Amino acid sequence: MDFGLIGNRLGGSIDLYQRKTEDLLYSYNAPQPPYVLTTLYTNVGSITNKGIEIALNAVPVRTADFTWNVDATWSYQQNEMTSLSNELYKVDRLEFGGLPSPGNLGNAIRVFEGGPIGDFWAYRFAGFDEQGKWQFFKEDGSKGGAGDMSDIDKVVVGNGVPKHMVSLTNNFKYKNFNLVLYFRGKLAYDILNTQEMYFGNINWSPNNMLRSVLGKHAQLTESPQYSDYYLEPGGFVKLDNVTLGYTFNLKTDYIRSLNVYITGRNLATFTRYSGLDPELEDTGFTTGIDSRGFYPRTKSLALGLRVGF
Amino acid sequence: MKKCIIYISLGLLLTVSACTKLDENIYSQVTADNFFNNKQEVMAAVLRPFTHARAWATMQDRHGYWRLQELTADQQAWPQKGRHGYDGAQWIRQHYHQWTIVDRAIEEPWELIYWGIGFCNNTIADLEKVDFTAIGMTDADKASIIAETKVVSAWHYLKLLDLYGNIPIVTTVGEPANPPTTPRAEVFAFVEKELKDNVDLLPKLSAPLVGRVSQAAGYAMLAELYINAEIWSGTSRWDDCIAACDKIISGETGGLNGAPELDPDILTPFSVTNHLSKENLFQIAFDYRASGDAPGYPAVFWHYRQRQIYNAERDGNNEWVTTPNAYDAYKNNDLRKQEWFLMGVQKKHPDLRNSPEDSIVLGTEEYSGKPLEFVNNIRRNSEGESGEGGMTRGEENSGARFNKYRPGTVNDEDYLGNDFVVYRLTEIYFFKAEALMRKNGGAATQEAVDLINACKQRAFTAADWPAEAYTTSTLTLDELLAERGREFFAEGKRRSDMIRFGTFLTASWWDHQPSNDPKWLLFPIPQKQLVINPALKQNPGYE
């Protein structure tokens, strides 16, 4: 639905959608015999995505010399792995996000038939004991060490798929100057900080370790274990574009227009996440896992000249 | 406006017709429709199960039929040697008969063998549709090739019958979706029928057929099937076994290098030129120079410095050793003990000695920098241990080492060219002798004695032989089992032999105590397969 009000000083659109995708391809364990190989790549599953997208545009100020234009967008999305099985192939869950060495910690993410994508499936942290060893909650609420835990003690401890995407663009024009301030953000998801999990653990020595080994994780003496201890809130808002430009009024036939600008990208990030960058993947099965090999995004500053002939 | 309508209608017309015709011309893959255009392509499909069989049937550092047949039996073991070889205790479980339904060592042979059956089923279905005369071959070729593929498939089922017993039978890829368990006796009947229906359509064994299945191989499979019939089907079939053996012995089914006869010595069947052996009947072919693929025995048997012993281009993973009881089962004047095993201080190959003093191979682990001396025990001697040792007490030099297949030197034309022998005439002689004895209440007939003596004579010098020759009173069934052990060491037969002679559950050897529970006579159906296919039933005792 699109709309425009107040002489088009306020306008926008609202979109609602629901999309069901069927015959998803996946590699299923095939009975052997009668098949030649142990897995079969075949169409079985289905996934449903639904959401709402709202875009608004307003012109709060418009005078002869000065215009302020605001664009804001917000989207919310929800997904569900509707089915993983049919009469021939039955799977009730899929696991993703295998955790790296050392230790055989398994997969970080579990998707159940009928459940959402991206759930973190882990032990619940219950503190450290006097020797600095891990304590987790067992299914019945009692505490146990890493060796006492088993699969039934794992629960959903978070989800790595961003639910909300927002953006805000402010466009200012004053005489020949123009200024753009562009914010964007993703909200409502968790991040598994594997850098803290492995590099922030004293057992990573003699390799380089994070300072948190002596700080935040000073109490911990045992090797890495996967639990909600390393799960952090991942929402953020970034100031992703600030552009200041000036357009010259040239009275010549050779040059039609000339605009000089300075622009900064990825200038600031506002987040509670303690790792390098809370912006990870939005789609796929391993969203929300901040891998150990993450390469930082650059902040950049550019000077530009736009000439029209 | 009119033009628009015309264009739009034309567009709609085209899209509508395009939507219903979904056949593709596939240019990115080879499918059965655009393959089998000449003899080369037909043979590529026919030979595939043989190269695949390298993985599961031959000496390999892989889970497969050969590994399960040897590590669960009384001649070889893969002990932990210090920091090496614990491997999640899987070799320990095999040695003590404690394997589980989720062991990869149980899952993978199943997968590999059914994979091979899948190839055969697929090839048979594809080739049935090919017009051989249109591609320069004959209808007789077609019959013979399809018969060969059926016999190869039957060989796979023969091995599954041996390992798992109660297994599903599938002859068409993909059907049925969940094949049910067939009881062992019916699997036996299926294998027998497939072999009998097809063996006489196979060509007789000749030199060009090395590595493939011929009449000789087919009758050898029948002989193996019948010698084990009492265990596998509940009914003994000694006469049928003798008949199958006679077919081969008579020469009717051909020979690899002239009429089939026993090789004159104990190394020829296993040498780098064993495609020229007179006694080999069916082997999985290897040609390192031509293909870059080497047989798997170096990785399994060789020490970390074994290349110095042979002047080879590779070392091994120091995995398998001979258990002390198996080495002691040979008399010291038995040429097989001297030739098929490495024992004592290991010398460098003469081509590798920098000086007369530099002639000893040195160790790398417990004996780092010291002479590498293989010893006939498996215990931590470097730590002052004594006694029988154990599966977790090995060192880098524990146990007599395999030297039955040798690689030659890295400069030899046939380096690492040993084919893996599946059946040889010696075994047919043993099958016949055993069947004769079993028919005779376990007592040796003169014919049985002559058959075994003909084989055993090669293992002794002329001077020693008279004292070692069997007579009808010295050749008992116990002695036959022992002699089978000595003769077929590491050939992938030992577990089946022990089961047939009734010692697999009751024998003690080295540090293995009797395992007693009859469930150990079969491997369990892998748990993974039971989960995927609800029509399968687990073997008794493993539920």
Q: Is B176 on the interface with A (CB under 8 A)?
A: yes
Domain range summary for chain A, segments of one domain joined by +:
92-308
List, as ranges, residues 515-534 from B with C-beta within 8 Å of A.
Answer: 528-529, 531-533
How open is the CA angle A102-A105-A106, to the nearest 5 degrees?
Answer: 125
- Sheet with A231-233, strands from edge to edge, namely A231-233, A190-193, A289-290
Q: Which two tokens stand for residue B103?
A: 């062991």
Looking at residue B111, which CATH number applies to its domain? 1.25.40.390
**pLDDT, tens digit, for every residue of B500-516?**
999 999 999 999 999 99
Kindly report, residue by residue over B33-85, the tens digit of the pLDDT. 788 999 999 999 999 999 999 999 999 999 999 999 999 999 999 999 988 88
* Alpha-carbon gap: A107 to the closest alpha carbon of chain B (Å): 19
Q: Based on the domain organization, do B356 and B484 belong to the same domain?
A: no
Indicate if B153 and B45 belong to the same structural domain.
yes
B157 touches chain A (CB under 8 A): no
Which residue among B168, B528, B531 places its CB closest to the CB of A33? Answer: B168
Q: Is B137 part of a structural domain of the chain?
A: yes
Residues of chain A positioned with their CB less than 8 A from the CB of B529: 31-32
Listed in sequence order, the residues at least 6 apart from B436 whose beta carbon sits closer than 8 Å to its beta carbon are B238, B242, B444, B445, B447, B448, B451
B176/A37 touch (CB, cutoff 8 Å), yes or no: no
Nearest to B247 by CA among B225, B222, B264, B228: B222
Contact flag B177-A36 (C-beta cutoff 8 Å) = no
Asked whether residue B165 is assigned to any structural domain, the reply reads: yes
What is the structure's pLDDT at A101?
76
Q: Does A37 touch chain B (CB under 8 A)?
A: yes
The pLDDT > 70 percentage for chain B reads 97
B300 and B392 together in one domain: yes
Of A29, A36, A38, the CB nearest to B173: A36
DSSP string, B461-499: -TTTHHHH---TTT--HHHHHHHHHHHTTTSS-HHHHHH
Cross-chain CB nearest to B529 (options A31, A36, A37): A31
* The two three-digit tokens of residue B121, written as one number: 């089923």
Secondary structure class of B172 (helix, strand, coil) = strand
The whole-angstrom separation of Cα B223 and Cα A143 is 62
Q: What is the pLDDT of residues B436-493, one digit of tens each?
A: 999 999 999 999 999 999 999 999 999 999 999 999 999 999 999 999 999 999 999 9
pLDDT score, position B515 = 96
Give the whole-number percent of chain B exceeding pLDDT 90.
Answer: 89
Q: What is the pLDDT of residues B173-228, one digit of tens each?
A: 999 989 999 999 999 999 999 999 999 999 999 999 999 999 999 999 999 999 99
- pLDDT confidence of residue B15: 59
Question: Is the predicted pLDDT of residue B237 greater than 70, yes or no?
Answer: yes
pLDDT digits (tens, 9 = 90+) for B365-394: 999 999 999 999 999 999 999 999 999 999
Secondary structure of residue B58 in the 3-state scheme: coil
Decide if A32 and B115 are in contact by the 8 Å CB cutoff. yes
The residue out of B384, B410, B436 marking a domain boundary is B410
CB distance from B29 to chain A under 8 Å? no
Rounded to the nearest angstrom, the gap between the alpha carbon of residue B97 and the centroid of all alpha carbons in its chain is 20
Mean pLDDT, range B125-131, rounded to an integer: 94
**What are the per-10-residue average pLDDT scores of chain A (309 residues)?**
80 94 88 89 92 94 93 95 84 86 83 93 94 93 88 92 96 95 96 94 89 92 92 95 92 87 96 93 88 90 92
Total CB pairs under 8 A between chain A and B: 46
- Among A31, A36, A88, beta carbon nearest to B115: A36
- Whether chain A has a CB inside 8 Å of the CB on B153: the answer is no
The nearest CA of chain B is from the CA of A38 a distance in Å of: 7
**pLDDT of B18 higher than 60:** no
User: Which residues on chain B are in Cβ contact (under 8 Å) with A38?
Assistant: 111, 115
Whether residue B32 is predicted with pLDDT greater than 80 in this model: the reply is no
Q: How many CB atoms lie within 10 A of CB A20?
A: 11
Domain presence at residue B168: yes
Which of B410, B429, B452 lies at the terminal end of a domain, its last residue? B410
Q: Which residues of A touch B177 (CB under 8 A)?
A: 31, 34, 88
Tell me whether residues A35 and B173 touch, CB distance under 8 A: yes
Q: Rounded to 5 degrees, what angle do the CA atoms B8, B14, B18 make? A: 145
pLDDT of residue A140: 92
With an 8 Å Cβ cutoff, is A38 touching chain B?
yes
Q: Give 3-state DSSP helix, strand, coil % of chain B, rounded to 5.
A: 50, 10, 45
Task: Look up the domain containing B300 and give its range.
Answer: 290-410
pLDDT of residue A147: 81
Partner residue opposite B179 with nearest CB, options A30, A34, A36: A34
B126 — contact with chain A (CB < 8 Å)?
no
Please, are residues A190 and A230 in contact by the beta-carbon 8 Å criterion? no
Same domain, B488 and B392: no
**Chain B CB contacts of A36 below 8 Å:** 114-115, 118-119, 121-122, 173
* Residue that terminates a domain, selected from B383, B410, B437: B410
Q: Which of B110, B119, B176 sits opposite A34 (nearest CB)?
A: B176
Predicted confidence at residue B1, as pLDDT, reads: 59
Residue B513: inside a domain: yes
Q: Does residue B278 fall inside a structural domain?
A: no
**pLDDT, tens digit (0-9, with 9 covering 90-100), for B138-180:** 999 999 999 999 999 999 999 999 999 999 999 999 999 899 9
Please report whether residue B101 resides in a domain. Answer: yes
In chain A, positions 64-93, which contact chain B (CB-CB < 8 Å)?
A: 88
User: What distance in Å separates the CA atoms of residue A208 and residue A199, rounded to the nearest whole number?
Assistant: 7
Q: Based on the fold, state whether residues B382 and B484 are members of the same structural domain.
A: no
**pLDDT at position A102:** 73
In chain B, how many domains are there? 2
Contact (CB<8Å) A31/B533: yes
Query: What is the reported pLDDT for B12?
Result: 67
